[in-house]
Amino acid sequence: MSEPALPFLPFALPEIGEEEIAEVVDSLRSGWVTTGPKARRFEADFAAFLGDAGLHCVAVNSATAGLHLALEALGIGPGDEVITTTHTFTATAEVVRYLGADVKLVDIDPATLNIHPAAVEATITPRTKAIIPVHYAGLAANMPALLALAKQHGLKVVEDAAHALPTTSAGRLVGTLDSDATVFSFYANKTITTGEGGMLVTRDAALAKRAQVMRLHGMNRDAFDRFTATVPSWYYEIVAPGFKYNLTDIAAALGLHQLKRLPAFQQKREQLAARYNKGLRGLPVILPPPPAPGDTHAWHLYVLRLADGAPIGRDALIEALYAAGIGCSVHYIPLHLQPYWRERYGLQAAMFPHSQHAYEQMLSLPLYTRMTDADVDRVLAVLHRLLG
């Protein structure tokens, strides 16, 4: 008799515990299912986790929303240019277009896969108003260099930290650096999840206030304020044409307990990445770049690159992994290859050689806290069979 087939090993799964479930149930029973006391608590807890009393945290329904709100509050608009990496998900760039501004895409550092400061510097024009660095896969971008460039040229910096909780740069948590705003993601496959959700973090009180107003239709008072006041407080004013970007209490209920578990989640992700690193030695692959000494990599993704001359191509390798019951993905198909960005800005692969080469060789292996050592070993065994 043949052995039974192993269950499919997915690329990512969230880890939701009984505390999160109980908190969600409590929200449902409380009557506060939209933005209310738990969203406020989550904002306060997030600021406390970052450990900087000068920070303002604004909970939103996605990191995309947070990036849009940050750029809007900074006054980005038609005629402006914003520089970001081609090697990212489209959300990083599309928010610039929401505001009528133009995106300038630049190449990555081939070692770190993060936005290359030299490429940023070469792209700055009189129209440039902001830079959006992306901390790819959970490894900090070169923030000292990027912040110095921004200061030199009078540019705003909004960090796309969707992958970067709890990443550090030069010993400081991403979210506490000297940028104008930082935006985190709590999507289902991120290092903590609220299902859908995000957090905008800033030291700028005016930026935070603008984001709070704009996340809920441009109202000068949110529903929690109006419905919990002890005197009649039905009156509100629309002070701007805002958006619908608020985080619900049901989602925040998950976040309250996910945040408490983040240190343990981070430790597990580091252990899994180390097991991959050890097990892949000797194969024709390029391992993910490590963090700088003393810094923390969030290990949102484990991105493997095939070395030149590997016995199998990237696409065939992914198909073979799927045939063996192992899910994987590619992060990302660069923006310069996507029809909208390519056609709008006349982009060609030759303009982004490092991103293009990395894309052609990369795949993201399964990495999530519910994985076991046996799960990692299963992936490694298939990779050794295919690449050894």
Known catalytic residues?
190
Smallest Cα–Cα separation from 57: which of 178, 165, 184? 184
Between CA 319 and CA 333 the distance in angstroms is 17
**What residue type is assigned to position 103 of the chain?**
V
Mark out the alpha helices in the chain (DSSP H runs).
18-30, 37-50, 63-73, 91-98, 117-123, 143-153, 205-214, 223-228, 249-279, 314-323, 339-345, 353-361, 373-387
The first and second tokens of residue 169, run together, are: 């740069």
What's the CA angle centered on 48, arms 47 and 54, to 5 degrees?
Answer: 55
Smallest Cα–Cα separation from 103: which of 126, 129, 122, 121? 129
Between CA 142 and CA 134 the distance in angstroms is 10
Between CA 367 and CA 280 the distance in angstroms is 15
The first and second tokens of residue 28, run together, are: 């449902």
Measured distance between the N- and C-terminal CA atoms of the chain, rounded to whole angstroms: 28
Smallest Cα–Cα separation from 63: which of 232, 191, 230, 236? 191
**What residue type is assigned to position 183 of the chain?**
V
Between CA 377 and CA 375 the distance in angstroms is 5
Smallest Cα–Cα separation from 67: which of 144, 134, 148? 134
CB 32 within 8 A of CB 249: yes
Cα 196 to Cα 63, 187, 203, 253: the distances in Å are 9, 5, 24, 12
Sign, CA dihedral 253-53-137-135, equals positive
Between CA 174 and CA 138 the distance in angstroms is 10
